[in-house]
Structure formats: structure tokens, C-alpha cells
A and B are shown apart, each in its own frame.
Chain A
Amino acid sequence: MPPSYSDTIPQMADSAFAPISAPAGTARPRHHAVVRTTHWITALAFLALLVTGGEILLSHPRFYWGETGNALSPPLFKLPLPASRRTVPTGYPYVLPDQNGWSRYLHFQSAWLAVLTGLLYVAFGVWKGHFRRHLLPHRDSPYNPLQRLTYLLVIFVLFPLIIWSGLAMSPAIASAFPAAVSSLGGQQSARTIHFFVTILLVLFLLVHLVKIWLAGFRKLVGPMITGRATEWSAYE
């Protein structure tokens, strides 16, 4: 392992309750149990949201701007994908099986799981000073400015925005909070924003996974599961 990689390890860890070099035995968990649990529940919920969101998207792989949009109106853009409904012009000679029913049920259930987990994580982070110590500009922050900016963006901009744009597609929510829809440019704009924020979150996930891979998979995944630095990483 080149030394430059191991230099990044303490910075990448999503918690620094104890320095990674703390003596074994006396070391407190590298990641607090709340951080570990919320991390993996979020990962599971995100995976379910991504798969089911893709399935829902296949019933109409066209995007619009404004309040309305349908097969008779010009799209903002369309994805080069076949659709699960016959009424959508896709250019493909076949129609995929309809999977919207369970996809929608699972999408919303996973969204609840992600939102409740996210609220727990943010409440915990504020209470313990997690964000203040690790993510806001700080003399001893374990993260570099780009990492801090990325995590802050994901936690406080992209996650809220994907929930907001998702809710803005709901006709009942639109009736109770019309400004939540109009401020995004309309119901179809909300759907388009929801799609682009998904792309950004997937990009974040890919970078996150690549960095973990480069830094040594077991070194970083072990602590996120058990909370303890493994023998592989403790004194490297």
C-alpha cells in the first residue's frame, strides 16, 4: 500500500471519536454505534430507492419542465430506454413488464426509512457536535476542505432536496404546501430535479466506493461495521 493512501484514511473516516492510532484496548469505537447503524440503514434504503426509482422511471423515461408534460408534449429530454407502458414513444419495438406497483410501495417505504434514519443521524450529529467538529471549517478537522464540502453538500443539500422534490410530486402534499411545488418550477420540474439529484447522489456513492477501494476495503469497512479499527489498520 503506497503511503499516500494510508494518509487519507483518518480523513475519510466518518467519525473521529478517537484518533486511529489510539492504542488498542483503550481505543474507543472509531465510529459510534449510532453512526454505524444509520450509515448501513441509509445504504440499504438508498439501494432500494435507486432500484425502485429506476423501475418507476421506466414507465415514462421522458422529462419535462414546468407543471405538466406527457407523451403529446415536447420533452425537455428523454432517456434512450425502452418503457414499461405502450403509450410512451421510445423508438423501441417492445414494452417492458410493468413493475410500478411494488416499486412504488417499496420506494415510499424506503423513503420513510431513509428520512427517519437521516433525522436520527442529524439529531445525533448536532447533539454530539459531530458536524461542528468534523465538517465545519475547524483547525483540527480530520477532513480536507473538499471532503467537508462534499459531505455537507450531501447531508444538508442533496438529501433534503431529493426529499423535497419527491414530496413535491405528491398531489396531496401539493394541495397542503403549494409553494413547495411552485418554488421548484412545477410538478414536472420537481420530477426532473429529483432525477438529477439522484444522478449526483449516485456520483457521490461511486466516488465514496472508489475511495474506500483505493484506501483498502477492509480497513474502512471493518470499522464501519464493528466500530473498531481492525488489526489491519490500527497501526499502519
Chain B
Amino acid sequence: MSKLSRRNLIAAGLVTAGSASGLAIAAQLGRRYGLIPPDGGGLYGPGETLTYAAQRILTSHSLAREFPRNQISRPPFANEVDRLPDTFQRLRQDSFAAWRLTVDGLVARPSSFSLAEIKSFPRRSQITHLACEEGWSYIAEWTGAPLSHILDLAGARPEARYVVYRSIQPDWWESIDMADALHPQTIVTHAMNGDDLPVPFGGPLRLRVPRQLGYKSVKYITSLTVTDSLKHFGKGLGSASPEGGYAWYAGI
């Protein structure tokens, strides 16, 4: 300890003060440009914030890879699904004719679209990769209405920052930022490999977010809420995933 010179102490003090003010400025900039994820607090907050901020800067407008038809996985793999609620079974008996997707929150025209209406919207088909956080993956052709089109129909307001989406399975709800919500490849999917989307893969409606891992592509979606803050949804961590210990941003 006696070897600690005044010069060393001053240098250490300057480095500490410099780092602290650097961090404070970075946090301020991060908040202003929307680079801090809703689960950016806590023990793993620094890593999550670095990942989300870096990937938002690098990938905001990048397109997920699309593959030739001969690379479609046969057969594709459907992960297991918890028991579906009775309401789902009732809708299924009627071929999902009564299935609806509601849109509310920061929109000019809160709306409710039937499955048939969604199937009549402009379509996008894309052969993309679906990777699960567990490590496995497959490629399929997904067809649906771009989420941006549905947000346009409902008139999403300019202060919108996130879209929350919920499954008919009560424990499943997620959210994405506007970079992903307005991304051309983020589609409300109703068909896979040329047929109606099978139930094990999320039929009748699944939101496909191909630039993130599979758990962000929630199956059986029934509602969308446009918002400028995630503080009042669930525990305020952004979605059910962080509440269950998983990262909100799953671009990695």
C-alpha cells in the first residue's frame, strides 16, 4: 500500500471519473436513440444492452437471408406446444373461421381482422431459416401479410415504439421494437410451404420475425397492441421471455 504514489492515485481517480461520465453519456445517448432493451437493467443488463445496441446499429435495415426452394427442410420440425386452451379447440372445429386479430393501443383506428380478411391482404412469401435458442433449425417457406401493412390499416401513430403481441396461450406474449415491426420480412403468417399454416407450427396465425430466434415468432396470435413504453405490460421487462429468464431481444 505504501507504494501507492500520489500520481497513481490521481491517475486512478481520473480513469474512474472518466469511465463514470463516459457511461453516463452512453446511457443518455442509448435512451435517446432507443438502444436500451426493456430488460437492460439487472445483472445481465450490460451484456444485453451492448448486444441490442450493436445489432440495432448494424442490422436495422438488413434483410434475413432467403433461400432457394430446394433448401426447404423436409420434414420441418415443430417444437412441442403446451396444451391449447378450450377456446382454441372450439375455433379449430370451425376451421378457425371465427379467429380474429385485434389491433389497439397507439393507433388511429382500433381494429379487429378476421382470418379471411388477413388472408386477403397483400401477401409476402419468403423462404427463411428458423433457429431455436436450443440449437436446432429448419428452413421453410412462410406466407403472410406484412405486419407493417396491418399497422398501416390501423393507423399506428408516430410515437409508437413497440408492438406487443399475444397468443391464445395465456402465458405467451412478446414485443418487438418498430425496426422489427415495420421490417418487410416481419409477417403475420397464415401459410407454410404452400398450405395453411399447420397447428403444430402456429396455425392459424403466427407472427414470424425471421431476424430473431424462434421464440419471438409467437404461435396462435390473437392481438397486437402498439405502445410507446413497455413499462406497464407484465412486469415491465418487455415480454414473457425475460419474466421466464430469457432475453427480450433474441437477434442472437
Q: Which residues of A are at the interface with B, using a C-beta cutoff of 8 A?
A: 56-57, 59-60, 62, 67-73, 85-88, 100-102, 104-106, 108-113, 167, 169-176, 178, 181, 187-188, 191
Contact = CB atoms under 8 A, between A and B. Distances in A.
A67 B73 CA distance: 10
Main secondary structure of the interface of B (DSSP, over half): loop
Given A73-B73, A170-B252, A176-B62, A101 B51 contact: no
Interface residues of B, number: 42
Main secondary structure of the interface of A (DSSP, over half): helix
10 contacts: A67-B71, A68-B138, A87-B79, A105-B48, A169-B131, A170-B252, A172-B58, A174-B129, A175-B59, A175-B211
A136 B44 CA distance: 38
A108 B51 contact: yes
B115 interface: no
B58 A176 contact: yes
Given A69-B137, A171-B129, 7 more contacts: A88-B134, A102-B245, A109-B47, A170-B251, A170-B252, A171-B252, A173-B55
B88 interface: no
Interface of B: 43-44, 46-48, 50-51, 55, 58-59, 62-65, 67, 71, 73, 75-77, 79-80, 129, 131-139, 210-213, 244-247, 251-252
B52 to A, nearest CB: 10
A102 B245 CA distance: 6
Contact of A108 (B47, B59, B77): B47
A191 B50 CA distance: 22
Contacts of A188: 137
Contact of B131 (A59, A87, A171): A171
B102 to A, nearest CB: 28
Nearest to B64: A175
A71 B50 CA distance: 33
Contacts of A173: 55, 58-59, 251-252
A48 to B, nearest CB: 11
Contact of B247 (A72, A104, A191): A104
Given A173-B59, A176-B59, A68 B133 contact: no
Most buried by B among A86, A105, A171: A171
B129 A67 contact: yes
Nearest to B39: A105
Contacts of A68: 71, 73, 129, 137-139
Contacts of B51: 108, 112
A210 B141 CA distance: 52
Contacts of A56: 135
A187 B244 contact: no
B5 to A, nearest CB: 14
A67 B139 contact: yes
Contacts of B138: 68, 70
A178 B65 contact: yes
A185 to B, nearest CB: 13
Contacts of B48: 105, 108-109
A100 B246 contact: yes
A170 B221 CA distance: 25
Contacts of A86: 80
B229 to A, nearest CB: 23
A54 B114 CA distance: 45
Most buried by B among A70, A73, A111, A187: A70
A171 B64 contact: yes
